[in-house]
Structure 1
Amino acid sequence: MDLRVTTQSVNEISSDVLVITATRAAGEAKGIQLSSAGQAIDQALGGVISECGTNEEFKGNTGELLSIHTLGKLAAKRILVVGLGAVEKVEPQALRKIGASIIRHLHSTNARSATLALAESSAVAETAQALTEGIFLGAYAFRKYQQNQNGERKLKDVQLQTSESNKTAVEEGVQKGKIFAEATNFARDLVNEPPRVLTPTELANRASAMAQQYGLECEVFDQAKIESLGMGGILGVTQGSVEPPHFIILRYRGAPESQEKGLALVGKGITFDSGGLSLKPAGSMETMKSDMGGAAAVIGAMQAIAALKPKTNVTAFVPTCENMPSGSAFRPGDVLRLMNGKTIEILNTDAEGRLILADALSYASQEGHSPIIDLATLTGGIVVALGNVMSGLFSNDEGLQQEIIAAGQAVGEKYWAMPLDEEYGELVKSDIADVKQTGGRGASSVTAAKILEHFVGNGAKWAHLDIAGTAFSENAKNMEKGGTGFGVRTLTELALRNAR
C-alpha cells in the first residue's frame, strides 16, 4: 500500500472514498463541528452532513462512521465522515485508533483508492504521523500460510490531503509514522511466524538480513561461542532442544565520536516455550510462539532507529533458544552458573526467560552500557496485575523510569511503574546458590525483576519491561489478532529523545 501527500482541493479529488473528520458539538449543543474540508464537502452536497448531525443520525463520537454517496456532485465517489469525539480530547493515540479503524473499514468495502483530508492543526506533523501509524498498523495482515486469497485487500492507493503551507510538515510526519509502523509490523511478522519456521537460527538470519538492509553492524554468536563466554543460562534452557541457541548483537553507531557505549536494548528470544520438564498445560502453549515478543520488539526498534538515524549509539542484545522437554533437558533442582559468575537454583523450568536475560544483561553490563532496557514476555503475574492494557515497568533509576513512561505516552504504549523494594529480594534467596530462580506465586513479576537485578552491572541504569500481557492480542477490533509489536515505538522514541 502506497501513502502519499496531496494538496489538491477536496472538491477535485477523484478517489473512491474521501475521508473527512467531525467532532461533537461543544457542551450540551446538538450537532457536529466539521473541519474546513468537511465544510466545503458539506456545502457541495447541499448540507446533508450537517443535517445528519442536527438530527443526531451522526453524533461525531470517536470512531463513528457515516458513509454518503456523492451521486456525481463531487469527483470522489463516496464521502466517509469519521467522528473524533470531543474536540478537546483528540490525542495522537485516538488518531492512531481512528486511522486503523478507517483503513479496516475501507478494506471491507473493496475500495481501491482513498484520500484522508487532514483537519487544520498547529500540530499537523504529529497528526499526520499518528494517522500514518494507524493506517499501516490497521492495514497489517499475516496471510502467507492461507491458500485462499479471496480476502486479499484491494486498497493500494492512500493519500493525506493538506494545504500547500503544511505540506512539508505533513510529509515529515508521514515519513516518521511509516518508519515507526513498518518496524512494528516487522516485529509482528516475527511473532506471528509458526515456531517450526522461526527457530533461533531463523530469528538470527532475519535479524542479520534486516541489519544488512539498514546498515547496522550484526554479530551472531553460535553455541561454541556461547559456551566459551560461560553463558550458563542460555545453555541450560536450550539443552532440551535439538535447535541450537544463538546470541544476536546489533549495533547502531549514530554518534561514532562519542566515548559512551550508549543505550543497550535486551530482548528475550524464546522462540517456543513448552515449559520444559515443568510442562505447560496444552492450552497455555497455543500462543507460546510469542515468547520471543521482547526479541521481536528490540529487533524492530533497531530497524526504525537505523532508518531515522538519530545521533546516538544503540546496541541490541538478543539471546534466543527454545525451551523443550527431553531426556537432556535441565531439571528442577539443577544449579546453573551464569556469565557474571553468579549461580542460580532451578525450581521451575517454565521460568526460563530470566535465565537467558541474565546472561544478556551480564554481557551488556560488561561492555559498559548504560542505560540498559530489557523487554520480555516474562510472567503471568504481570497479566494478572495489569491485563493487556499496560506493561509492567521496573527500574533502578527514577529518571529512566519517567523517560520510558513519557516515551510510551508519546507513541501510545502504556507502562505502570512497579516496586523493586529490598524486601522482595528476600524471596529469591537460595540455600544452595547465589539466587533462586523463582520467588513463588506471590509478587511473581516483582521477584522475577529482582532476580534480573542481580545481573546488572554496578552503576548501570536499568529498566525491565514485562510485556507478557501486551505482546500478543486476541482482540481484532482495530488490529489484526496476533503479535502487536509492543515496545518497538517506545524504544525508538526513547532513542530519538536521547539524541535530542
Structure 2
Amino acid sequence: MKTTIANKEIEQAALDVLVVGLPEHPENLERWDSLNDLFGGRLLDWVKEGDVSTDLKAVTKLPAASGTAVKRVLFIGLGPAKKLTDQILLEVFAKAGKELKGRKAENVSIWADSFTTDTLEADDTAFAAIQGMLLGSYQFDDYKTTSNEKDFCFAEIELISTADEDELKAAAEVGRVHAEAVNSARTLVNTPPNILTAVKMAEHAEQLAERYDFELEVLGKEEMEELGMGAILAVNKGSVEEPRLIVLKYAGGNEDWTDVVGLVGKGITYDTGGYSLKPKDGMVGMKGDMGGAAAVFGAMQIIGELRPKKNVIAVIASTDNMVSGDAFKPDDVITSLSGKTIEVLNTDAEGRLVLADAVTYAKQSGADCLIDVATLTGGVIVALGKDKTGALTNDEAFFESFMEASLETGEFVWRLPLTENDKKRLRTSDVADLNNSPGRDGHMIFGGGFVGEFAGDTPWIHLDIAGTSEAGAPHNLGPKGATGVMSRTLATFIERLAEEEPDAE
C-alpha cells in the first residue's frame, strides 16, 4: 500500500473517494467554504436538515459536483469535537475502512485536517487513519471454491493536510505497522488447525526471523526430551503432530543481553480437552487456542519493524491437545523443566502446563521480566465478559507500567487478585509439588496463578485473553473472528520501555 501526504486544495483530491470528518459544527472547519463549494454551497443546509449526519460514526456518501477532480465524498460523523478521543478516532477510521471495502474503493484521499481538534493533532489523525482503515477492512482469505470476489486491499491512501509532512509520514507508517501486525495475528488465529500445526507455526517464526534479523531457536520433541520439558511433552503425548518450542530473540538494547523482556505465548493449535474431553459445542472454535502465540508474534512483527532499543525474547510453546492411547490423563504426575512436579487433575487445563515450561525456558534464556499471554480459561469470561482481558501480577510497578501501554492502545485490561491462599491451593497435592486444577471457583486466578509458580520472583504479568481474542460478531475495529488483541499493547509497552532507557534519544 502506498501512503502519500499532500498539501493541496480539497477540490484537487483525484482518487476514488474523498473521506471527510464532520464534527457537530462543520462550518467551523478551516476550509469549509472549499468543501461546501463541492456541493454548490448546499452542504450546510443538508447537515441542518439531517440529510448529511454529524452523529458519531454516521456515514453519508455523496457524489461531488462536476467540474472538480473529486469523484465522490464519504462523510463520517464525529459528533462533538471536544469528546473526540484517539481511541474513538481509531474506531471512526475503522468504520470508514469497512465502508470503503464495501465500495471496493482502493484509492482514497482523506482530508486529515477535518479530523483534528484542540486535543487531537494531525499526526494523531495520520496514525489513526492508516491503522483504522487497515483494521476495519481486514478479511480472512477463506477456503471457499465458489467465491469470485478478489481480495480487497488499499492501493493508495492520500492524507491531505497542511501539517508537517515528515511528522505525518512517520505517524502513518507506525499506524500501518501496527495494523498489519494485528491483521497477521488475526490470520494465524483464523487458520484451521489441520493447516496451522506447531510445525507450521515454527515456519511462521522462521519467516519473521529472516525478515527482521531475529535470532531463532526451534526445539523439537527430541530436544525437549533431552532438556526435560515434561509439561509440554505430556500435553503432546496424544498427538501425531510434533510439538515445537519456538524462541525469537531481538537484540535491540545493550550488547551484553541484559535487561531482557520475555514475551511468552500459549500456542495450542487445537484443544480437545484430552481425556477431560470438552463437549462437542465447546470444542468448536478451539483452533483459536493459540491466540496468545499469535499476539506475541504480532508484537514481534511490530518490534521488528520499528526497532525499539530494548532486548526482547519471545517464547512460544506449541502443540495440540488430543486423545489417544498414549495421551496423558488425570492422576498422572509429570516433571516440568523447572524440576517441579505436577499432579494432573484436568487434562483440559493444558495451557498452563505448556506455559510452565515456556516461562522456565524464557528465564533460563535471560528474561529479567515476563509477560505471558494465553487463551487460558473460560473463567475470565465469566468474571469479566468478552471485552476485557484479565490480568495477574507479582509486581505492582511492572504492572502499572504495562497498564499505561494498555490505556494508550485502548485494549482494556483488568487485574484480578492472586492471594497466598490461592497459591496454597495450587500447592495442595498428596503426590506432587503442584496440582494443575484446584477447582472451578476462581478459575482464571488458579490458571494464571499456576503459571506464576514458575515465574517465581521474576517480575511477571499474566494476560488471559480467552474472552478478547475472538469476536462473535463484527465489532468497532474489525469483522467477526480473531481480533489480534494484545499485539499492539505488548509492542507499545516495549516501545515505552525503550524510550525510558537513559541513552534513548
Whether these two folds match at TM > 0.5 is: yes
Whether contact under 8 Å (1:190, 1:296) holds in the other structure is yes
Shift of 1:405: 1.6
Given that residues 222 and 246 in structure 1 are in contact (C-alpha distance below 8 angstroms), is that contact kept between their aligned partners in structure 2?
yes
1:394 and 2:369 aligned: no
Q: Which of 248, 260, 271 is matched with 2:246 structurally?
A: 248
Q: Choose which of 465, 468, 491 in structure 1 pairs with 2:466.
A: 468
Query: Displacement of 1:477 after TM fit?
Result: 4.0
Residue equivalent to 1:450: 449
Equivalence for 1:223: 221
Deviating runs (4+, > 6 A) in structure 1? none
Change (3 A) 1:140 1:71: same
1:366: which partner in 2? 364
Aligned to 2:383: 385
The answer on whether the counterparts of 2:189 and 2:288 sit within 8 Å (CA) in structure 1 is yes
Please say if 1:3 is aligned against 2:3.
yes
Question: Are the equivalent residues in 1 in contact too, given 2:469–2:482 (CA < 8 A)?
Answer: yes
Deviations 1:99-157 (A, max 9, x none): 11111111222334221111245632222112211111112111242224433355643
Given candidates 414, 417, 420, the residue that maps to 2:415 is: 417
Match for 1:184 among 163, 182, 185?
A: 182
- Please, what is the CA RMSD of the aligned residues? 1.7
User: Structure 1 residues 281, 171: closer, same or farther in 2, change over 3 A?
Assistant: same
Pairing 1:473-484 to 2, within 5 Å after superposition: 473-478=471-476, 479-484=478-483
Q: Secondary structure at the match of 2:104?
A: coil
Q: In structure 2, the residue corresponding to 1:271 is in which secondary structure?
A: strand
Partners in 1 of 2:177 and 2:388 — Cα distance?
A: 23
In structure 2, what residue type is equivalent to 1:177?
A: G
Match in the other structure for 2:15: 15
In structure 2, C-alpha distance between the alignment counterparts of 1:286 and 1:5, rounded to whole Å: 45
Task: Give the direction of change, closer, same or farther, for the CA distance of 1:294–1:153 in structure 2 (3 Å limit).
Answer: same
SS of residue paired to 2:216: strand
User: CA contact under 8 A between 2:219 and 2:246: conserved in structure 1?
Assistant: yes
User: How big is the shift at 1:457?
Assistant: 3.6
Q: Which amino acid aligns with 2:55?
A: N
- 1:293 aligns to what? 291
The secondary structure found in structure 1 opposite 2:235 is: helix
Alpha-carbon distance in 2 for matches of 1:139, 1:268: 27
What are the within-5 Å matches in structure 2 for residues 81-120 of structure 1? 81-119=75-113, 120=116
TM-score (norm 1): 0.95
Q: Which residue of 2 aligns with 1:55?
A: 49
Task: Describe the shift of the 1:365–1:156 C-alpha distance in structure 2 as closer, same or farther (beyond 3 A).
Answer: closer
Indicate conservation of the 8 Å contact 1:362/1:457, yes or no. no
Q: CA deviation at 1:218?
A: 0.6
CA shift, 1:59, in A, is: 4.0
Query: Which residue of the partner structure matches residue 334 of structure 1?
Result: 332
Confirm whether residue 124 of structure 1 aligns to residue 129 of structure 2: no
Tell me the distance in 2 between the aligned counterparts of 1:266 and 1:330. Answer: 23
Partner SS state of residue 455, structure 2: coil
Whether the 8 Å contact between 2:38 and 2:64 is mirrored in structure 1 is no
Query: Quick one: structure 1 residues 396 and 154, their matched pair in 2 at CA, closer, same or farther if it must change by over 3 Å?
Result: closer
Preserved CA contact (<8 Å) 1:347 1:436? yes
CA distances 1:402-430 after superposition (whole Å, capped 9, x unpaired): 12221112112110111112122233222
Residues 370-410 of structure 1: per-residue CA shift (max 9 Å, x gap): 22000000000001111221100111111121122211121
List per-residue Cα deviations over 1:347-382 (Å, max 9, x = no partner). 111110000000111112223422200000000000
Measured at CA, do residues 432 and 63 of structure 1 come closer, stay the same or move farther in structure 2, by a change above 3 Å? same
Query: What's 1:235 paired with?
Result: 233
Secondary structure of the 1:448 match is helix
Give per-residue Cα distances to partners, 1:53-74, cap 9 Å, x unaligned.
Answer: 2223344122111222113143
Cα offset for 1:255?
1.6
What is the CA–CA distance in structure 2 between the aligned matches of 1:388 and 1:49, rounded to whole Å? 41
* Cα shift readout 1:210-266 (whole Å, capped 9, x = no counterpart): 211111111101111111111111000000000011100000001243551410000
Q: Does 1:430 align with 2:429?
A: yes
Counterpart amino acid of 1:8? K
Deviates more, 1:268-277 or 1:479-488: 479-488
SS for the counterpart of 1:320 is strand
Distance 1:190 1:436 in 2: 31
Contact 1:336–1:345 at 8 Å: present in 2 too? yes
The one-letter amino acid paired with 2:88 is A
| Larger deviation, residues 433-442 vs 266-275 | 433-442
Structure 2: distance between partners of 1:292 and 1:331: 22
CA distance in 1, matches of 2:333, 2:36: 72
Structure 1 pair 33–448 and aligned structure 2 pair: CA distance change class (3 A) = farther
- Pairwise CA distance, 1:37: 4.3
**Among 36, 47, 69, the residue aligned to 2:30:** 36
Residues 270, 287 of structure 2: 8 Å contact kept: yes
Structure 1 residues 124, 222: closer, same or farther in 2, change over 3 A? same
Alignment partners' CA distance in 1, 2:152 and 2:322:
42
* Cα deviation code 1:422-474 (max 9, x no counterpart): 1222332222211110121111001112211110143x110000000111112
Q: Does the 8 Å contact 2:21/2:75 carry over to 1?
A: yes
Which residue, out of 270, 277, 282, partners 1:284? Answer: 282
Inter-partner Cα distance in structure 2 for 1:63 and 1:277: 48
Alignment match, 2:489: 490
**Percent identity (aligned):** 38
**TM-score of the pair, normalised by structure 2:** 0.94
Q: Is the 8 A contact 2:53 2:59 kept in 1?
A: no
Over 3 Å counting, the alpha-carbon distance change for 1:34 and 1:186 in structure 2 is farther
Cα distance in 1 for residues equivalent to 2:47 and 2:172: 31
Query: For residue 384 of structure 2, what is the amino acid of its counterpart?
Result: L
Is there any run of 5+ residues in structure 2 with no aligned partner, and where?
A: 500-505
Could you tell me which residue of structure 2 aligns to residue 74 of structure 1?
68
Cα 1:454–1:356 change in 2 (3 A) is same
- Residue 328 of structure 2 aligns to which amino acid in structure 1? F
Give the Cα separation in 2 of the matches to 1:352 and 1:33. 59
Distance 1:347 1:340 in 2: 19
CA contact (8 A) 1:22 1:38 kept: no
The residue aligned with 1:319 is 317
Q: Cα offset for 1:326?
A: 0.7
- 2:155 is matched with which residue? 157
The alpha carbon displacement at 1:34 in A equals 5.5
Structure 1 CA distance, aligned partners of 2:388 and 2:27? 33
SS in 1 for 2:206: helix
Q: How many matched pairs? A: 493
Q: Which runs of 5+ in 1 are unaligned?
A: 26-31
**Residue 192 of structure 2 is aligned with which of 179, 191, 194?**
194
- The answer as to whether partners of 1:238 and 1:245 remain within 8 angstroms in 2 is yes
- What amino acid is the match of 1:13? A
> 2:39 touches 2:65 (CA, 8 Å); kept in 1?
no
Measured at CA, do residues 376 and 44 of structure 1 come closer, stay the same or move farther in structure 2, by a change above 3 Å? same
